[in-house]
Amino acid sequence: MTHEVLIIGGGLLGCAAAWHLARAGLTPRLIEARGINAGASGQNAGSLHFQIERRFLEPGGTGHAQGGDIVRLNRLAIEEWAGLEDQLGRPLDIHMHGGLMLAENEADLALLSLKVARENELGLPTQLLSGAEARDLVPRLASHICGAAWLAKEGHANPRILADAFADAARASGATIETQSRLLDLRRVGDDWQATIEQSGQITTASARHVILASGHWTARIAACMGLNIPLYLAPLMMSVTDRTAPFLPYLIQHVGKRLSMKQTDDGNMVIGGGWASAPQRMVDGLPDLDAPPHLVPDNLRANLTVAAGVLPCLRARSLIRSWTGMTCISADQLPIVGEVPAAPGLYVAAGGSMFTLGPLLARMLARSIIERAMPDEIALFSAARFAHLNAFVVQP
């Protein structure tokens, strides 16, 4: 049997793409080596951050030129998240009550002012707040916080349930989803792709006209087995959660100059992250073990918690109940890679940074690119074609 679309990976993006494709009548098949949401989609801190990152503000840099495209995508992503619970017909713990990006000194504040002006030019309605105005929203902020950028539609969602919701909806729409199904081999055979799959000790083959690699940090290694170069690099991260306290923080907290994200869950726990590195475990040959959870790095954990307590001193009275790690990946230019690989017609990649915040939107756009046989203009910035030169000497059979 030849499938129209075979999806490799059961995270947020793979499950969401399966749903969109199934709704269009393509009956995709998704295989996942472990369980649904077992990777980065379920291990991240769940932030929905739509304000411009610092790297897109530097004048003259490529990031500055890309800022407009990023803001337009973020505006679309806000709309996507706002409608998800209605579309999927179930609660998803999505909270979009607003987000604050903090400044602790005059240099931070000047950068925030530049950022807010740029965002407003591009149609993103952020506001520059004074320190007093920020403390009006969050009275427990440190007294030295001198300002903040406020965006009313930022927030957070529960990463532990979202991919499963998409998977359930995809099945109900006709998609086939198989867990404990490991990809052993993938190669081009004529006009189709042939996958060799191990399921419960049995080895089978499947053909597909289109294949989506939505396998997170495994994506580059799978591509390499086909002789393809996809510039994705490991990003092992860590997050922490405190004991419960009475609700006081309905907003997402970020920092313009330091790595930080904070939010409070419905149960009252504080979740703290922000992109601090953990360390991958190594196999006997020295290569990173892509199946093993990374190690915590104590110095980075302490630094992350210090930044958090510095802007929210009440955290010093809380107990840390758990820290955990997860493995994701980033591309060579720190933008997602989404779309068809020019050297391998019919093979699509969806991996890289911002895959939780942008994941639902990118999944819909990726499905659209397969259905319409054309890359949507909205995500042209993320096209895999920008790295086509890395595969100039690749020959597919």
Residue whose C-alpha is closest to residue 24's, from 239, 210, 301:
210
Residue position matching structure tokens 């337009």: 72
pTM exceeds cut of 0.85: yes
| pLDDT number for residue 394 | 83
| pLDDT number for residue 200 | 86
| pLDDT number for residue 132 | 98
Separation between Cα atoms, residue 190 and residue 174, nearest integer Å: 27
Are the CB atoms for 201 and 52 separated by under 8 Å?
no
The angle formed by the CA atoms of residues 189, 332 and 261, to the nearest 5 degrees, is 120
Separation between Cα atoms, residue 91 and residue 304, nearest integer Å: 31
| pLDDT number for residue 67 | 76
Residue stretches of the chain with pLDDT short of 70: 55-65, 397
Separation between Cα atoms, residue 155 and residue 48, nearest integer Å: 5
Residue whose C-alpha is closest to residue 128's, from 105, 111, 153:
111
Which structure tokens are listed for 371?
């259905």
Domains of the chain: 2-43+161-230+333-391 (3.50.50.60), 94-154+233-331 (3.30.9.10)
